[in-house]
Amino acid sequence: MHPAKKYRPALTALAVVAAFLIGGSFVPNFLNPANFLNVIRQCSIIAICAVGVTQVIVIKGIDLSVGGNVTFCGMLAGLLLGRGVPVPIAILAALAAGTAIGLVSGALHAYLEVPAFVATLVIGQITQGAAYLFNNGRSFGSFPPAFVFLGNGSLLGVPVSDYIMVIFVLAGVFVTTKLPIGTRIYGLGGNEQVLKNSGIDTAKIKLFVFAVSGFCAASAGVLLAAQLDTAHPTQGEPYQLDAIAACIIGGVSMAGGEGKVIMSMVGALIIQSIRNILNLLAVHSFYQNILVGVIIIGVVAISMMTRARRANKTAQFAAADAGALKP
């Protein structure tokens, strides 16, 4: 294995520790337990989105509908709750809607061969636009306590949001590493033709992956509404970039076929820590967006360049490797 890849998890872990230490030593209150709990509570939204987005990027796609979907599903849950629909039913309806939205993007990509970024951009815009229609551009709020508990309550001192996050991440890890479809998802990112020749309906895998991403975004949207106790038609927007940034920082390759769900959660933690530190330092959100934008471009650029260099390195010359094959 290439050293850069072998040590990648270790390097990322090191980066997290470093981020926390730097945060802790320079930023007052960062390591304060209350603040820390806040960070991990807020990072759950990004991490849940990232569980889906990771798989989408692994199959060489991208999901630009996350922001719209988070908003749409939050608004839908808000609308239903406002009409007095019981909490579980409102949540289930929102999750179903989000999954359906993911399925539509997936169908566009899988069956009409629309590039993923276009399909999801379109769907993202439609959902974002539709979110304004729910209440004529206004927000919903004052949800039932049971709903707010999901976002703001805690069990044994740990926010409920984080239990939900852990469930999502574990489910993501389980699907991608323990189930046959996991291998196929990675295989699809590696070489789609191989799967087709093996009789696998790759369109179905794409549908599955985009549906999962839609489901994750919907869950994040509902959870966000619960955390904020409000659903506003723009509140999902920041999570678009953050979810992608989390995956990229976590080492998911834009070239497909590589990346781990668990590392994306670490990426989410890093992103949220950075945002939190900047908040504590009273840096305006204008600057935060600039920083996240720069981080995304920087990390992708570095990974693309190391990949290119690695490809060059493996250009070995024949006659040398013939002997390696001992009959």
Interface residues for other proteins in 153-182 (CB under 8 A)? Answer: 178-180, 182
**Strands 140-141 vs 154-155: parallel, antiparallel or unpaired:** unpaired
Number of residues assigned to the chain: 327
**Binding mask 126-145 vs other proteins (x if CB under 8 A, - otherwise)?**
x-xxx-xx--xx--------
CB of 253 within 8 A of CB of 259? yes
CB of 275 within 8 A of CB of 288? yes
Interface pick for other proteins out of 123, 231, 262, 271 (rule CB under 8 A): 123
Using CB under 8 A as the binding rule, whether residue 187 contacts other proteins is answered as yes
Binding positions for other proteins, 54-73, rule CB under 8 A: 62, 64
Size of the site for other proteins (CB under 8 A): 79
Using CB under 8 A as the binding rule, whether residue 114 contacts other proteins is answered as yes
Residue type, position 301, single letter: A
The candidate with the shortest Cα–Cα distance to 264, out of 226, 230, 311, 299, is 299
**Binding mask 290-319 vs other proteins (x if CB under 8 A, - otherwise)?**
x-xxx-xx--xx--xx--x---x--xxxxx
The percent helix, strand, coil of the chain (3-state, each to 5) is 75, 0, 20
Interface pick for other proteins out of 46, 56, 195, 209 (rule CB under 8 A): 195
Using CB under 8 A as the binding rule, whether residue 9 contacts other proteins is answered as no
Q: Cite the beta strand spans of the chain per DSSP E.
A: 140-141, 154-155, 158-159, 230-231
Handedness of CA 8, 10, 16, 18 (dihedral sign): negative
Distance CA 60, CA 145 (A): 41
Interface pick for other proteins out of 74, 159, 189, 250 (rule CB under 8 A): 189
Which among 27-35, 105-113, 152-160, 270-278 is the span making contact with other proteins, rule CB under 8 A? 105-113
Which lies closer to other proteins via its Cβ, residue 7 or residue 287? 287
CB of 188 within 8 A of CB of 202? yes
Helices 285-313 and 237-249 sit at what angle, rounded to 10 degrees? 30
Interface pick for other proteins out of 142, 158, 281, 287 (rule CB under 8 A): 287
Minimum distance from residue 76 beta carbon to other proteins (Å): 14
Which lies closer to other proteins via its Cβ, residue 33 or residue 180? 180
**Binding mask 216-255 vs other proteins (x if CB under 8 A, - otherwise)?**
-------------------------x--x---x-----x-
Which lies closer to other proteins via its Cβ, residue 132 or residue 163? 132
